[in-house]
Chain A
């Protein structure tokens, strides 16, 4: 291991050791004396948005859902199902595919080293055959159908199609049933070859463990780096303003579901500047739509929104938007009033509101880092965003009220806004 560095994080009473393996993979170990269940999370920056890339001298295009399909196939293992290998040590495990990352993890109260070997083995080795790929198709179709039955899932992706012209975030991570039916073994092999390189792995481990011994074990399990140039992602050019001001669809809902979103012209990138922008956006959203905001309370008291109203921020390197949504019998009123409230909020928030919201954000972040799996998941997410573990705490403490107001002004603009409405079928 190279550049081994141990840092104490007093705000959360944690101690992390960061290192870079010989092959280039990054590793963080958080030592947590007294914890009985240890956790290891591994991930890489390859997600459902990676639909077009240059592999050698070929341009590869894969159907939406390919990264998720490949995640499923990794669990098959080369010689033995990963399920069986983890079951033997009683470990809990899972994986997940987001727009930009794929992650795998396990937790174990015994035989942690054996579990770590399994984890680092199956993410560096896969056997893809037509028969194996075909066998998974029905399972994934059922997973996709399960999500398709959720109005909120459907509504969010309708909003994505309103906000973005061509960006792959328009597709759900699992793809549609039709997408899943188009995925072939060759698509998955290309994805594997392009992205699942040992040097691309990011590994976060937390538990009552000796960091030095863990790092040595990880180093021993990692395979050599692939000696070809890194894959080139072929990014579609995305105009800076929304694709449509409003998209509507009939869906299987009793009442209209209404979503309004504001997108940034471009994403904030990775690293500390990206994280800083994300935190500012999050605080801006809280100042407008948290239950403690008079803006939200006013909308609630006047019956514009009900207790199902939600707001969220979605950000990664190349996209960023804030959204609010809920059910309403008067979608037009909902859209006009919610949009109006957010776009006029900048002049209505006060510095004491900001301090209170920041204080709450700090408390929630600190206390979310409870289990070893939560800590390892946080550290992995940080690495995949190219920031240090727990960096959010220091950044949060350094944010200023005027910065949040500027962020609100940038984000909540009419020209950045789009909306989506699911209307009851036959209604």
Chain B
């Protein structure tokens, strides 16, 4: 179990996140349901109401559990956050009750009758909620389009499968399944904790050590599947709606060396990382084709993806513009001014990490799981040495894979 801790008394809110990482696999739907069931109460706080009241009593503390996809890992996160005690009346003690609460929901869930691991009606109700939520996912066109895009692009890879599975998989999960994946996650998942804000490291370290003391070393997480694309695929699907959603995916493994990684990151920023980027200027400002268009690097999986909301008839033009700008950046590199704009923006974001507990925690975890562990100051220094030629060279990495369009249904 690793703990990353930044004690920063300037923060008004403290947070502790405990991530348990296991492979994305056939048990992912059960884990998704598990976190919903755990939020319904524990042995000591036997209802959602009781948990919520305990958090209100603690001056508006939060305890949130969720499961999501991070690369090809299923990450189960428990986040506790609370207002810094120096801002509360003298004698207010928030943290001593909150940390045990986080452990209690995982280790002492509310049990069912007749020795069942969970209450049957709770499992049934939460499962039904999730089945209905899966059924209505397409109501959110933007989220649905991204899901379908990843499902096509990574069809035979864990990354292409949504962690909640499908309606049938979710409907088949039993209370016994939940208990099995709970125990497996606690005993065999990779645990990574991060604490940021007005916190003291020692009590948190002791709390976590006590919680996870009897665990054996967890097995390593499987390597990320990297498929080499062949011909670029074009996929079009339709759904009733107002706007088409465009996605363009490239295979793009991260460079091994630090200089290469920073050059690639700057290249992606120049391509589509904000209002300074090529795509924003060409697609939005010059052609008025989109409100927003952006490129992002999915580092843990090794993908570069571009997304925009457009009119369907403009999809080919947007695709060709992405190709043209990428080709131009490979050939000539970014202009020095473009590179400077991208660099300043990334530098500002690194500086801004010191102002937000959530952003700082996310940064620390990301660096840890990528095995990089770079301090923000070191990254800023590395960014300053990137040249246009280095950016051009690193942008040779992305290989076109899939163009996906979710278009409004033709009348």
Contacts and interface: CB of A to CB of B under 8 A. Distances in A.
Do A and B originate from a single complex?
yes
Interface string A89-107: 1111000000000000001
B77 interface: no
Nearest to A357: B56
Contacts of A84: 276
Interface in A299-356: 300, 303, 306-308, 327, 329, 356
Contact of B275 (A83, A303, A306): A83
Nearest to A308: B133
Interface in A128-184: 135-140, 142-143, 145-146, 148-151
Given A92-B349, A362-B60, A371-B356, 8 more contacts: A36-B351, A107-B352, A149-B142, A292-B56, A356-B53, A360-B59, A361-B60, A371-B352
Contacts of A359: 56-57, 59-60
Interface in B150-194: none
B83 interface: yes
Given A12-B12, A36-B354, A149 B141 contact: yes
B290 A139 contact: yes
Contact of A149 (B52, B243, B289, B344): B243
A88 interface: yes
A366 B14 CA distance: 12
A131 to B, nearest CB: 12
Nearest to B350: A109
9 contacts: A87-B276, A88-B340, A107-B348, A254-B136, A292-B52, A296-B49, A300-B48, A360-B55, A370-B357
Interface of B: 10-13, 36, 47-49, 52-53, 55-61, 82-84, 86-88, 125, 129, 132-133, 135-136, 138-142, 239-243, 275-276, 284-285, 288-291, 309-311, 340-341, 343-345, 347-349, 351-352, 354-357
A45 to B, nearest CB: 26
A140 B240 CA distance: 21
B348 A91 contact: yes
Contacts of A367: 12-13, 60, 83-84, 87
B241 A327 contact: no
| 6 cross-chain pairs, A with B, having the tightest CB-CB distances, nearest first | A90-B344, A363-B60, A363-B59, A138-B288, A360-B60, A367-B13
A289 B267 CA distance: 47
Contact of B142 (A12, A83, A146, A252): A146
Contacts of A137: 288
Given A88-B341, A254-B138, A366 B83 contact: yes
A415 interface: no
A107 B82 CA distance: 26
A91 B86 CA distance: 32
B331 to A, nearest CB: 23
B83 A363 contact: yes
B56 A356 contact: yes
Contacts of B48: 291, 297, 300
Nearest to A143: B291
Contacts of A291: 48-49, 52
Contact of B348 (A92, A142, A252, A300): A92
Contacts of A249: none
Q: Which of A34, A139, A356 has the most CB atoms of chain B within a 10 A radius of its CB? A: A139
Interface residues of A, number: 67
Contact of B87 (A13, A34, A254, A294): A13
Nearest to A150: B140
A366 B56 contact: no
A254 B12 CA distance: 41
A307 B32 CA distance: 14
A253 interface: yes
Contacts of B82: 363
Given A142-B309, A356-B56, A357-B56, A372 B345 contact: no
Given A297-B47, A366-B87, A292 B345 contact: no
Contacts of B343: 90
A370 B355 contact: yes
Given A12-B87, A254-B139, A359-B60, A303 B125 contact: yes
A58 interface: no
A425 interface: yes
Contacts of B49: 291-294, 296-297
Contact of B291 (A146, A151, A297): A146
A109 B142 contact: no
Given A145-B243, A150-B140, A327 B132 contact: yes
A282 to B, nearest CB: 13
B288 A35 contact: no
Contacts of A145: 242-243, 309
